[in-house]
Amino acid sequence: MNIFNTPIGWLSIEEENAQLIDVEFRQRKTSIKPSPTVLEKKVEQQLNQYFEGKNKDFNLPLNLSGTAFQQRVWKALQKIPYGQVKTYGQLAKELNSSARAVGNACRANPVPIVVPCHRIVAANGIGGFAGKTDGPVVERKRWLLKHEGVKY
Q: Return the domain boundaries, the chain.
A: 2-51, 68-147
Length of the chain: 152
pLDDT bucket at 146, cuts 50 / 70 / 90: very high
User: Which residues neighbour 146 within 8 Å (Cβ) at sequence distance 6 or greater?
Assistant: 152
Tens digits of residue pLDDT in 32-78: 566 889 999 999 999 999 999 999 999 999 999 999 999 999 999 99
Looking at residue 27, its pLDDT comes to: 80
* 121/14 Cα distance (integer angstroms): 27
Burial of residue 131 (number of CB atoms within 10 Å: 0-12, 13-18, 19+)? exposed
Q: Which residues are catalytic?
A: 117
Tens digits of residue pLDDT in 103-140: 999 999 999 999 999 999 999 999 999 888 899 999 99
- Options 2.40.70.10, 2.40.170.20, 1.10.10.10, 1.10.150.530; which CATH number does 68-147 get? 1.10.10.10
Rg (CA), the chain: 15
